[in-house]
Structure 1
Amino acid sequence: MMEKIPTQTGARDQLMNDLKTVIQDAEGWLRNSSLTGEDLKAAKEKFERTISAAKADVIHYQEMVVEKTREAAKATDEYVHENPWRAIAIGGAAGLLLGLAISRRD
């Protein structure tokens, strides 16, 4: 069973490692295309396990990103409800700065 990875960076690193392993296994399998019988079966099973692990990590990483996004949206919503005028001022300042940055590009 796959171990839960506690951080987003850890999940991303695990996913990248799994994808690198999939690529390395695929390259090795292609180089050794003379595999037959039990060797071919073992290589295929290892490749399938690696792909399954990578898929599971992608799903886990996606779930983690969605959860973090929900948490950020909830925190933002709470902040805006608790501090409406401050949120309006921050939004206005951000709009002003963005407008200034865009107008200077021309």
Structure 2
Amino acid sequence: MSQSSERLLEELHRVVAEAETLLRATADQAGEGTSELRSRVQATLDGARRSLTEVQHAAVDKARAAGRATDQYVHEKPWHAIGLAAGVGLLVGMLISRR
């Protein structure tokens, strides 16, 4: 999972947590439609939490699959992997030396 995706998930988790805190803080307030609104917001937050968990699990599964595929490729073609790593290292070295 990319770093920006991780940050987005963390922010969404924080938003859900803050919204739940707000709901708890306003639990004693009564008024016309307040309890109905509170229950709808709670249902939305529960759905958002489930969706976030599913997205997080899917991202972890994809990362594991990518790791397994990379491991398998390196074991099947070690010289290709060494050549690729050397090429990337050479390219990074050339870019760094330009500055």
Task: Give the alignment's TM-score, normalised by structure 2.
Answer: 0.69
The corresponding residue for 2:72 is: 78
Aligned length: 77
Shift, 1:102, TM fit: 1.5
Q: Give the aligned partner of residue 69 of structure 1.
A: 63
Shift of 1:101: 1.2
Residue by residue over 1:3-38, the C-alpha shift from the partner in whole angstroms, topping out at 9 and shown as x without a partner, is xxxxxxxxx9xxxxxx7xx99xx7xxxxxxx9714x
Q: In the alignment, does 2:45 pair up with 1:51?
A: yes
Q: Which residue of 2 is the match for residue 60 of structure 1?
A: 54
Matched, 1:40 2:34: yes
- Are 1:93 and 2:87 counterparts? yes
Cα deviation 1:60-86 (Å, max 9, x = unaligned): 000000000000000000000000011
Aligned equivalents of 1:71, 1:90: Cα separation in 2: 20
Q: CA deviation at 1:99?
A: 1.1
2:96 & 2:34 partners in 1: Cα distance?
59
Runs of 4+ in 1 over 4 A off after TM superposition: none
Give me the identity figure in percent. Answer: 37
- For residues 35 and 54 of structure 1, what CA distance do their matches in structure 2 show? 25
